[in-house]
Amino acid sequence: MQKSKWIPYHELAWTEHIIAPPEEYVEMTELFCELIQKQSQIEVNTLLHLGSGAGSNDYTFKRHFKVTGVDISDEMLKVARTLNPEVAYIKGDMREIRLGKEFDVVVIPESIGHMTTLFDLSKAIQTAYEHIKPGGLLLLAALVHEDFQENNFVYTGSKGNIEITLFENNYMQSPSATTYKATVFYLIRRNGQLETASDTVTIGVFKRAIWHDLLSEIGFNVTSMELKNIYDQYLLGDGSYLMTMFICKKLL
């Protein structure tokens, strides 16, 4: 049996658009765009995407807005720049970066989960707040504690001579934990030759009331809505994956 290599997730950024093509993100990203147009108190032209990853959401955002993306990973930024040369991508940590300008809207579609402590979560939200014009919006999507399930997922894709299958297992150590482990295992075949790789990522998961309290304390007027069936097509066996969209208005 071939031994799996441990490889940090960001070093597998090149696989992102094979196992999850940007076209598969269009429906969810268009929902963001629709909410932005309906909920913003000001005209929206500029968008800041914190934790932009491989640029799959920006593939759709750029059709509607002038987009700036921020990510901490050089590998993810390289993939994103190839997909979206029209987008201004900047390397930075969402907890610390200050661009010296404000945007009409800031979005964090999912990467907020990489904030594993309330301290880090607060810093990331403060970054968003400081980059939003008065009357603008922060939209973010998160898995809240009450909706967590120990799910298993499978993703597959191919490009040229490369075929990839990705398995993901989500596991929480105890019901009171504020993080869970997402363990991923890759089967990568090049011309039929198998390589395997794995990684485990810690994801923050906080109660809904904590989200509302924190966002309100920082200065947002907050409402929320459920995001259903985002990843249910990739689930193995029973279960569901329910996310929450937080719609956060900065007062005029």
Tokens for 191, please give them. Answer: 């011309």
Question: Does the structure show a pLDDT above 80 at 113?
Answer: yes
As a whole number, mean pLDDT of residues 211-215 equals 97
- Angle between helices 118-130 and 208-218 in degrees, nearest 10: 40
* Confidence (pLDDT) at 233: 87
Q: Look at residue 2 in the predicted model and tell me its pLDDT.
A: 52
Contact at 8 Å (CB) between 204 and 115?
yes
Task: Kindly indicate the confidence band of residue 1, based on its pLDDT and cuts at 50, 70 and 90.
Answer: very low
Question: For residues 10 and 77, which has the higher predicted lDDT (pLDDT)?
Answer: 77
pLDDT at 228: 85
Closest to 34 (Cα-Cα) out of 52, 60, 66, 69: 60
Q: What is the mean pLDDT of residues 180-202?
A: 95
Position 72 confidence tier, pLDDT thresholds 50, 70, 90: very high
Closest C-alpha to 44, from 55, 32, 54, 57: 32
Chain segment 149-175, per-residue pLDDT in tens: 999 999 999 999 999 999 999 999 999
Query: Which pLDDT score, from 0 to 100, does residue 3 have?
Result: 55
Q: State the residue for tokens 């920082």.
A: 218
Task: Provide the percentage of residues in the chain whose pLDDT is more than 90.
Answer: 90
Token digits of residue 230 = 């985002």
Q: What confidence score (pLDDT) does residue 230 get?
A: 83
The per-residue pLDDT for range 194-211, each reduced to its tens digit, is 999 999 999 999 999 999
pLDDT at 250: 97
Cβ pair 161, 98 in contact under 8 A: no
User: Sheet of 179-190: strands edge to edge?
Assistant: 5-6, 193-204, 179-190, 162-171, 152-159
- Three-point CA angle 108, 125, 226, nearest 5°: 50
Does this model's pTM top 0.85? My answer is yes
Please state, rounded to an integer, the average pLDDT across all residues of the chain: 94
pLDDT above 90: residue 85: yes
Three-class HEC string of the chain: CCCCEECCHHHHHHHHHHHCCHHHHHHHHHHHHHHHHHHCCCCCCEEEEECCCCCCCHHHHCCCCEEEEEECCHHHHHHHHHHCCCCEEEECCCCCCCCCCCEEEEEECCHHHHCCCHHHHHHHHHHHHHCEEEEEEEEEEECCHHHCCCCEEEEEEEECCEEEEEEEEEECCCCCCCEEEEEEEEEEEECCEEEEEEEEEEEECCCHHHHHHHHHHHCEEEEEEEECCCCHHHECCCCCCCEEEEEEEECC
Average pLDDT in the 35-51 region?
A: 96
Distance CA 110, CA 245 (A): 10
Q: How far apart are CA 19 and CA 56, in angstroms?
A: 12
